[in-house]
Amino acid sequence: MANYKVLIKPSAVKELERVPKKQLQKITEKIQALEFDPRPLQCEKLAAKNESRIRQGAYRLVYTIEDDKLVIMVIKIGHRRDVYR
């Protein structure tokens, strides 16, 4: 299987900067792991959208997968109470 290219929206980078340091390391590891496996076991497809999400504690990573271009775009990173708004 080919490796995917992981892109992060500028707004998601700003959201990542607000994540507590305790969770930051684990979240960045999950983002890097998407390059090799865009649909890990803990991944869930969001209803009514072409988006998927991964949980990391109380934080969520929302991203899209473009299989034809081998690109993953991280759209949102945030606390579970805010990320779906």
The string of pLDDT tens digits covering residues 29-59 is 999 999 999 999 999 999 878 899 999 999 9
Nearest to 77 by CA among 62, 55, 58: 62
The model carries a pTM of: 0.92
**Tokens linked to 57:** 């504690």
Residue 1: predicted pLDDT: 62
End-to-end CA distance of the chain: 34
Other residues' Cβ atoms within 10 Å of the Cβ of residue 11? 12
Residue 30: predicted pLDDT: 95
Per-domain residue ranges of the chain: 5-79
21-33 and 10-17 are packed helices; what angle lies between their axes, rounded to 10 degrees? 140
What CATH superfamily classification does 5-79 receive? RelE-like (3.30.2310.20)
Spatial separation of the C-alpha atoms in residues 10 and 68, rounded to whole Å: 23
